[in-house]
Structure 1
Amino acid sequence: MPPSPPRTPLLPRPTKARFKAGQFTLDSDTRLRVTPGAEPAAQLLRTLLAPATGLPLPPAADGQVVLALDTALTGLGGEGYGLTIGPRSVLLRARTVTGLLRGVQTVRQLLPVQALSASPRHGVPWTLPCADITDVPRLPWRGAMLDVARHFQPLSYLLRYVDLLALHKINVFHLHLTDDQGWRMPVAAYPKLTEIGGHRSRSMTGPTGDRYDGTPHGGAYTRAELVRLVDHAAARGITVMPEIEMPGHARAAVAAYPHLGNRPERTLDVWTRWGVCDTTLGVHEEVFDFCRTVLEEVMDVFPSPYLHIGGDECPTTEWERSPAARARAREAGLPGPAALHGWFLGRVGTFLTRQGRRPVGWAETGTELPEDFTVMAWRDPAHALEAARRGHDVINSHHRATYLDYPRSAGPDEPPGQPGGVVGLRDVHGHDPVPGAASPEAAARVLGTQAHLWTEYAATPARIEYLTYPRLCALADRSWSGPTTWTDFSSRLAGHTARLDALEVSRHP
């Protein structure tokens, strides 16, 4: 009799997987043998399986399930793992703890789908199919961005969001914390950022026109909540990269502290519209003191080596009208106020690099960011290639393949989304982050890709998940596994949706 395939195929697809006859059963007698340094993976396995299975999985020197760190496994890199399942034992090996954490998610997918439930499931045999799996990701950056500036989400949902990312082996959670419509992170030296900047009086109800809901919206995290989020993500092998927008998308900050803007005499509200606001930070020294103070606190909370400072969609109208900004441009030897954009980002980027961090910015052309920036290219696929050729590290995030706020279809039953296009499941699956025309040197500069969800049209967790899944599954599969046929992916996704349903994910059909 040929060996049985897994109950539902794995997603992302492993690099190599061979399934054999037989199975291993986890039960109340199952023990874990954990080598030194592998304890975080054992703890994650217990945490994930306990709600549904109730299995304690205690440690034992002769445990049947072995979690082993082995620094000699250099071929597995920083995230790869090897998993061997036999009828009497299971061996999960990796060179790093992160690799073990990825393997734990594979074990979780191989169990009956009821293992993903948040409540006890009795009478289910917790079996794993016998298999030999070796798995190494294609790309080192596999991210997902959630915008909490437009619509604030509680910490409880962010923790769930991270759990779902981990199941799909996403390794970067890009948290968009500030924008024109809200500031969500506390900064001790500037309490009004959340007291004033964290609240707006109403919100637009459509992409255009002057229709508003008349309902105040607000919210901000405490420092302790953000630290908890970082720790929760790290325990699952995920880095939380914060984003603090500057010098544009700064209306909430200027509403809280008018002296940071170009017209300190005026009082502004936190913006209630969607789109691009022309309010920008000024370019006087007080503004750079503010930026340094904010970023120092951000770095204290978020240990991520990368820190996103926005940088795109920055109208220069206010600088062109400001005598102080025009004088600053002349003092800096710039051709005009428009050049203050790159000059501003250069100053902030230099500050971050001196602190040992790597600045990340949105790129609208592929050529406008200072050379020490990691480029997040979103407007055009050509921009990613251009930036890589210039020597930037690149995250290729073309909006027509990775922006999940666009509707998935043009059907009449599709809820409202970002206007101007559709991003279907096939669009996400077909996006290759590495441009086909890239030289080997340029291709090596492409770190990976990520999905983005701007929340103008996603106010609730259910709506966020409906927009995210299963499209994020396609991005996760492509970035971890590399190119796959549509038939292969869709057949595995058909089985994987049972896992999403077990997790009560509000997903697109």
Structure 2
Amino acid sequence: MKMKQLKFTVILLIFFGFNLQSQIHIVPQPLEISIEEGFFILNDDVKIISTKETKEEAKILCSILKEGFDKKAKISKKGSGIKLYINQDLEKNLGKEGYKLSSKNNQIVIEGASKAGLFYGIQSFKQLLPSDFGKKNYKNKNVDFPIVEISDKPRFSWRSFMLDESRHFKGMEAVKNLLDEMSVLKMNVFHWHLVDDQGWRIEIKKYPNLTKIGSYRKDTQAKRKSPERVGFSHEGFYTQKQIKEIIKYAEERHIKIIPEIEMPGHATAAIASYPWLGILGTTSEVTQEFGKLPDSYNVSDPKVVQFLKDVLTEVFELFPENVVHIGGDEVNFKTWENSKMIQDKIKKEGLSSPADLQIYFTNEISNFMEDNNHRMMGWNEILGDNVHKEHENSNMEVKQKLSDNAIIHFWKGSLDLVNKAVTSGHEVVNSLHSMTYLDYTYKSIPLSKAYSFDPIPEGLDEKYHDKILGSGCQMWSEWIPTVEKMNNQVFPRLAAYAEVGWTSKENKNYNNFVIGLKKMQNRWKMIGINFHESLE
């Protein structure tokens, strides 16, 4: 009889624990969660216990509580309530971005290995609140906060979202809203694609025509490979003052901003602004078409290379992070093959092909960056690989070796190219286009496929796993003109990519993710974010 009673008790505990566990959903899924019976009763009288060291994080927590209780929480150095502190000892097991969240019936403790870790702990706290907590007519005076123990850290250090604003400018409010949602999801890199053929979106004071001319186009292609136009102009750019404001906004959310300044291809907007930058001599206005265009920077001309260094110098002064993305993709080598200036440069430098010249040029830019305490990043064409299979019958031999310090942003080609990059000593951010491009339809990349992405390719030798910095998801905007349409493409897949970057492989579970996502969707509805509702 005692044995039967014991078995019943064990089954009851397992069932009860499972039911409690099923109530806890945080996106991205934390490393470890345990939950006990009971609640911390959260109300508008709760105090935030904070030191001077954590005052900024305390203000963030205070604003979260004010959204629901409509009352500013008191911040105090002593007492009971919600305690925030930096615990550097956590770094040994949880890394610099790790945190712990512990709640009992008389207090909540959030501790981080760094301020970033503490911030992420606060974001998990936020997700454990009711999804309608910030609603204007929220009337609950008491919130039952679960008794939990959470230990958490990210799987990867690079968890990126990219926004292309060259093709369609979205503006400061849209960018700030995206940064807000990235921060909730613990994403830490905003890759800002500010320069391309269809528009130059960043003020460069030494070259004012870049925005005076390059930020405006007369019309826009309406459909792929079509002469049809939308029938109206498009323009917009950020002043350096506005960029500084956005950088500060991102820093408060522990997000690094990595600007992308495309070179040597995707340069039509710059060439339209200063025609002496180009090769063809025929580019007179910002293009209305999308795709791989013929003109590019004339890298055989020292004045053009100096122009790019001048632009980068202002970029270095503006952005605090030491990584700058140069693009480097989709250079039209047919133009280079037919250019006497380019061919003379190839012969002069003893190079073997246009692809070899691109690496030669890229290394010059990389060396310039290193001399200025910066590091270059680029799409994987900068390695010289024929990823588009366009040059099978022509001489694209590559003898130059790309600078070891360059970060490779993998997006296209065989996954063997990732192996080639890491075995050559390069660090890699994996953004394989067939898995991570947010402009692709949900039929092409459904939510489940986005969630299934693993930045570490299957079969990669374990000794190279630490060369994979993480992943990025890309919002290319050729055919995404409005913020509403952009949000529909981004959400909810952004949440899936957040879990790809943060959650350990062993803890990923798509069914659990979908359950947690429903609560997040309720919050998106509340704050007016348009999202794709089907979870198929």
Q: Which of the five TM-score ranges fits, normalised by the shorter chain?
A: over 0.9
59, 77, 80: which one aligns with 2:95: 77
Report if aligned partners of 2:356, 2:384 keep a CA contact under 8 Å in 1: no
The corresponding residue for 1:471 is 493
1:223 deviates by 0.9
TM-score (norm 1): 0.93
Q: Does 1:59 align with 2:72?
A: no
The residue aligned with 1:336 is 353
1:23 to 39, 46, 67: 39
Does the C-alpha gap of structure 1 residues 273 and 104 become closer, same or farther in structure 2, counting only changes over 3 Å?
A: same
Which position in structure 2 is the counterpart of 1:9? 25
Partner of 2:292: 276
Name the counterpart of 2:442: 408
Residue 398 of structure 1 is aligned with which of 432, 446, 467? 432
Indicate yes or no: 2:165 matched with 1:148: yes
The alignment status of 1:492 with 2:525, answered yes or no, reads: no
Instruction: Report what 1:288 is aligned to.
Output: 305
Confirm whether residue 455 of structure 1 aligns to residue 489 of structure 2. Answer: no
2:122 is equivalent to residue 122 of structure 1: no
Deviates more, 1:252-261 or 1:61-70: 61-70
Q: Which runs of 5+ in 1 are unaligned?
A: 410-421
- Rounded Cα–Cα distance in structure 1 between residues aligned with 2:145 and 2:294: 57
What are the residue-to-residue correspondences of 1:366-445 with 2, within 5 Å?
368=385, 369-380=402-413, 381-409=415-443, 422-445=444-467
Given that 2:209 and 2:273 are in contact with CA atoms closer than 8 Å, whether structure 1 keeps it comes out as: yes
Query: Is residue 225 of structure 2 the alignment partner of residue 203 of structure 1?
Result: no
Give 1:111's match in structure 2, choosing from 110, 125, 129: 129
1:33 paired to 2:27: no
Preserved CA contact (<8 Å) 1:159 1:232: yes
Range 497-506 or range 459-468, more displaced: 497-506
- Does 1:174 pair with 2:173? no
Question: Conserved in 2, the CA contact under 8 Å of 1:143 and 1:174?
Answer: yes
Say whether the 8 Å CA contact 2:283–2:295 is kept in structure 1: no
Q: Is the 8 A contact 2:359 2:382 kept in 1?
A: no
Q: Which amino acid aligns with 1:498?
A: N
Give the corresponding residue for 1:413: none
Amino acid at match of 1:396: N
Which deviates further from its counterpart, 9-18 or 356-365?
356-365
Alpha-carbon offset, residue 58 of structure 1 = 2.2
Residue in 1 that maps onto 2:527:
503
Give 1:86 shift.
Answer: 1.2
Task: Decide whether aligned partners of structure 1 residues 378 and 406 sit closer, same or farther in structure 2, where only a CA change above 3 A counts.
Answer: same
SS at match of 1:92: strand
CA distance in 2, matches of 1:16, 1:387: 33
Q: Percent of counterpart pairs with the same letter?
A: 30
Cα 1:496–1:282 shift into 2, 3 Å:
same
Residues 353-372 of structure 1 mapped to structure 2, 5 A cutoff = 353-364=370-381, 368=385, 369-372=402-405
* Structure 1 counterpart of 2:399: none
CA contact 2:275–2:283 (8 Å) conserved in 1: yes
Residue 337 of structure 1, CA deviation: 3.5
Judge conservation of contact 2:294–2:335 (CA < 8 Å) in 1. Answer: yes
CA deviations on 1:332-353 (whole Å, 9 max, x unpaired) are 1112344221111111111112
User: Are the aligned partners of 1:108 and 1:116 in contact in 2 as well (CA < 8 Å)?
Assistant: no
Aligned with 1:317 (options 306, 331, 334): 334
Aligned to 2:132, what secondary structure does the other structure show? helix
Are 2:131 and 2:520, in contact at CA under 8 Å, matched by a contact in 1? no
Write the deviation string for residues 394-419 of structure 1: whole angstroms up to 9, x where unpaired.
0111111100101002xxxxxxxxxx
Match of 1:241, SS state, is strand
Residues 277-297 of structure 1, C-alpha deviations (whole Å, 9 max, x = no match): 111001211111111111111
The alignment partner of 2:89 has SS state of: coil
RMSD over aligned Cα atoms = 1.8
The residue identity in structure 2 corresponding to 1:433 is P
- 1:258–1:72: structure 2 CA closer, same or farther, 3 Å change rule? same
For residue 114 of structure 1, give the secondary structure of its aligned residue in structure 2: coil
Q: Which moved more, 1:365-374 or 1:134-143?
A: 365-374
Corresponding position of 2:9: none
Alpha carbons 2:262, 2:327 under 8 Å: kept: yes
- Aligned partner of 2:238 in structure 1 is 221
Stretch deviating more after TM superposition (189-198 or 42-51): 42-51
**Which residue type is aligned with residue 467 of structure 2?**
R
Deviation at 1:5, TM superposition (A): 4.1
> Cα offset for 1:6?
6.8
CA shift, 1:249, in A, is 0.3
1:440 offset after TM fit, Å?
2.3
**Structure-2 separation of matches of 1:68 and 1:6:** 29
Cα deviation code 1:370-407 (max 9, x no counterpart): 43210110113332222112211001111111001010
1:47 aligns with 2:63: yes
In structure 2, distance between residues paired with 1:56 and 1:6: 32
CA distance in 2, matches of 1:277, 1:126: 57
- Asked if 1:305 corresponds to 2:330, the answer is no
Q: How many matched pairs?
A: 495
2:477 partner letter: T
Structure 1 stretch 489-498 or stretch 310-319: which is displaced more? 489-498
- Given that 1:367 and 1:387 are in contact with CA atoms closer than 8 Å, whether structure 2 keeps it comes out as no
Contact 1:142 1:476 survives alignment (8 Å): yes
Per-residue deviation, 1:37: 1.8
User: In structure 2, how many angstroms separate the alpha carbons of the residues matched to 1:12 and 1:98?
Assistant: 16
Deviations 1:73-126 (A, max 9, x none): 222211110000111111001110000111111111011112344x46333533
Q: Does the residue aligned with 1:115 lie in a helix, a strand or coil?
A: coil
Say which is worse superposed, 489-498 or 433-442, in terms of deviation: 489-498
State yes or no: 1:252 paired with 2:276. no
